[in-house]
A and B are shown apart, each in its own frame.
Chain A
Amino acid sequence: MAKRNQHDPTSGEENPQTQSAADSARNGITRRGFLKGAGLTAAGTALLDGVHAFSSETAGNRKGVTELGPGPVPVRLHVNGAEHVVQIEPRTTLAEALRIHLGMTGTKIICDRGVCSGCTVWLDKMPVNSCMTLAVDAVGHQVTTIEGIAGEGELHPLQAAFVRHDAMQCGFCTPGMVMSCAALLERNASPSEQDVRQAVSGNLCRCGTYPKVFAATLDVAGSTRNA
Chain B
Amino acid sequence: MASHLNVDTPGEELIPEQAAAPPKKSVQMPVGVPDYTLTSETRQVPASEPPVWPINKDLKCVGQSTERYDGAAKVTGRARYTSDVQLPGMLYAKFVDASIPHGKVVSIDTSAAEKYPGVRSVHVIQQVLGPAVLRDPKLEQVKYPVVRFAGQPVAAVAAVTPDAAEEAAKLVKVRYDAMPFVVDIDKARASDAPQVFPGPADEAGSAGGGGGPSDVPQTGNVHGPSVHRVGQVEQGFKEADVVVEGHYITQVQTHSALETHGVVADWKPEMLTVWASTQGTASVREELAGFFHIPLTQVRVITEFMGGGFGAKFGAGNPGVVAAALSRKAGAPVRLMLDREEEHLSVGNRPSSDQRLRIGAKQDGTITAIQLISYGTAGCGTGAGCSGPAANLYKSASLHTEENDVFINAGPATAMRAPGHPQGAFALEQTMDELAVKLNMDPIDLRDKTDPHPVRRVERQIVRGSDLWKSRNPTAAASPGPVKRGVGLAQSVWYRFVSMGSAAEVRVHRDGSLEVISAVQDIGSGIKTVMAQILAEQFGVPPAQVAVKIGDTNYPEGPNSGGSVTTLSLTPAVRDAAWQASQKFLADIAPALGASPGDLVLVDGEVRSQSGKMQPLSFRRAAAKMSSAQITAQAKRVPDYAPHKYLTYGGVDVAEVEVDTEVGRIRVTRVLSVHDCGRPMNPTQVISQINGGITQGMSYTLFENRLLDPEYGLMVNPDLEQYKIAGAREIPDIDVRLVEAYLGQSSTDASGIGEAAGVVSIGAAIGNAVYNAIGVRIRQTPMTPAVVLAALRTAAQRREIA
Contact = CB atoms under 8 A, between A and B. Distances in A.
A41 interface: no
B525 interface: yes
Interface in B291-333: 305-308, 310
Contact of A166 (B688, B728, B729): B688
B258 A108 contact: yes
A169 B525 CA distance: 6
B684 A155 contact: no
Nearest to A213: B728
Task: Name, among B307, B719, B728, B733, the residue most crowded by chain A CB atoms within 10 Å (CB to CB).
Answer: B728
Given A115-B721, A206-B308, A172 B81 contact: yes
Contacts of A138: none
Interface in A147-190: 147, 150, 155, 159, 162-164, 166, 168-175, 178
Please report whether the interface of chain A is mostly helix, strand, loop or mixed according to DSSP. loop
A34 interface: no
Contact of B163 (A89, A99, A175, A207): A89
A172 B307 contact: yes
Task: Name, among B73, B84, B307, B687, the residue most crowded by chain A CB atoms within 10 Å (CB to CB).
Answer: B307
Interface in A95-117: 96, 99-100, 103-113, 115-116
A200 B693 CA distance: 20
Contacts of A115: 719-721
A113 B719 contact: yes
Contact of B76 (A112, A113, A155, A207): A155
Interface in B705-738: 719-721, 725-729, 731, 733-734
A209 interface: yes
A210 B728 contact: yes
Contact of B727 (A103, A162, A201): A201
Interface in A124-162: 145-147, 150, 155, 159, 162
Given A164-B67, A197-B728, A198-B729, A171 B692 contact: no
Contacts of A178: 75
A104 B77 contact: yes
Contacts of A198: 728-729
A60 interface: no
B68 A166 contact: yes
A204 B84 contact: no
Given A172-B258, A204-B725, A106 B688 contact: no
B366 interface: no
A115 B465 CA distance: 42
A118 interface: yes
Interface string B63-102: 0010110111111111111011010000000000000000
Given A112-B340, A211-B731, A171 B79 contact: yes
A208 B691 contact: yes
Given A104-B77, A162-B71, A168-B71, A204 B727 contact: yes
B256 interface: yes
A11 interface: no
A112 B258 contact: no
Contacts of A175: 75, 77
A20 interface: no
A78 interface: no
Contacts of A214: 728
A89 B118 CA distance: 14
B84 A206 contact: no
B196 interface: no
Interface string A63-102: 0000000000000000000000000010100001001100
Contacts of A211: 691, 731, 733-734
A26 B727 CA distance: 44
A206 B693 contact: no
Given A106-B77, A116-B720, A171 B691 contact: no
A202 B728 CA distance: 8
B259 interface: yes
B80 A105 contact: yes
Contacts of A146: 75-77
Contacts of A91: 163
Task: Name, among A104, A200, A203, A204, the residue most crowded by chain B CB atoms within 10 Å (CB to CB).
Answer: A204
Contact of A99 (B84, B308, B727): B84
B692 A155 contact: no
Interface string B683-711: 01101110111111000000000000000
A163 B79 CA distance: 14
A115 B524 CA distance: 22
A205 B84 CA distance: 19
B306 to A, nearest CB: 7
A155 B307 CA distance: 22
By size class, the interface of chain B is 35 or more
Contacts of B67: 163-164, 166
Nearest to A72: B161
B75 A174 contact: yes
A147 B691 contact: no
Contacts of A108: 81, 83, 258-259, 307
B339 interface: yes
B119 interface: no
Given A207-B692, A208-B692, A168 B727 contact: no
A113 B340 CA distance: 10
B86 A103 contact: yes
B524 A170 contact: yes
B340 A111 contact: yes
B39 to A, nearest CB: 32
A147 B523 CA distance: 23
Nearest to B257: A206
A155 B696 contact: no
A150 B86 contact: no
Nearest to B759: A208
B88 to A, nearest CB: 12
Contacts of A105: 77, 80-81, 83-84, 86
Nearest to B522: A170
Contacts of B734: 211
Nearest to A92: B163
A163 B76 CA distance: 10
Contacts of B719: 111, 113, 115
Contacts of A164: 67
A214 B306 CA distance: 23
A147 to B, nearest CB: 5
B731 A210 contact: yes
Given A162-B71, A170-B258, A174-B75, A207 B729 contact: no
Contacts of A206: 255-258, 308, 310, 696, 725
A107 B305 CA distance: 15
A210 B525 CA distance: 15
B524 A169 contact: yes
A107 B308 CA distance: 16
B688 A170 contact: no
Task: Name, among A118, A146, A170, A197, the residue most crowded by chain B CB atoms within 10 Å (CB to CB).
Answer: A170
Contacts of B727: 201-204, 210
B694 A170 contact: no
B614 to A, nearest CB: 38
A214 B732 CA distance: 12
B693 A155 contact: no
Given A204-B727, A207-B692, A208-B693, A168 B75 contact: yes
8 contacts: A166-B65, A166-B687, A168-B74, A173-B258, A196-B728, A198-B729, A211-B733, A211-B734
Given A159-B72, A198-B728, 16 more contacts: A89-B163, A91-B163, A100-B162, A105-B83, A115-B721, A166-B67, A168-B71, A168-B75, A168-B524, A169-B308, A171-B74, A171-B307, A203-B728, A204-B727, A207-B688, A209-B688
Interface of A: 89, 91, 96, 99-100, 103-113, 115-116, 118, 145-147, 150, 155, 159, 162-164, 166, 168-175, 178, 196-198, 200-214
Interface of B: 65, 67-68, 70-81, 83-84, 86, 162-163, 255-259, 305-308, 310, 339-340, 523-526, 684-685, 687-689, 691-696, 719-721, 725-729, 731, 733-734
